[in-house]
Amino acid sequence: MTILPPDPDFSALRVEFARLRGERGWTFDELANRSGLARRTLIDLEHGRTPGNLTTWHALAHVFDVPIEHLLAVLCGNHTPPGGNDT
């Protein structure tokens, strides 16, 4: 029997992205200028239309000045992260 890993919580990632952007008071245009990412990409990320890719989240981690682990950790918010079991 194959045991599949839990689904990542992309909704939590979207919420954290919106929180970080809002905390700084940045518009999508300003974040696009700071990150080099397309405004449409940023809007689609925040509205959950795309999960993005590692390159996108890496760029955003740098712009927000947070470790990429901070962003990616929220993907496990609805389950125990890998390595979190002491069995």
Across the chain, which has 87 residues, the per-10-residue mean pLDDT values are 86 96 98 98 96 96 97 88 65
**Residues near 68 by beta carbon (within 8 Å), at least 6 away in sequence:** 57, 58, 61
Q: State residue 84's pLDDT score.
A: 65
Q: State residue 18's pLDDT score.
A: 97
Q: Is 39:11 a contact under the CB 8 Å cutoff?
A: no
Q: Is 5:79 a contact under the CB 8 Å cutoff?
A: no
Q: Enumerate domains of the chain plus CATH numbers.
A: 23-73 (1.10.260.40)
Q: State residue 56's pLDDT score.
A: 97
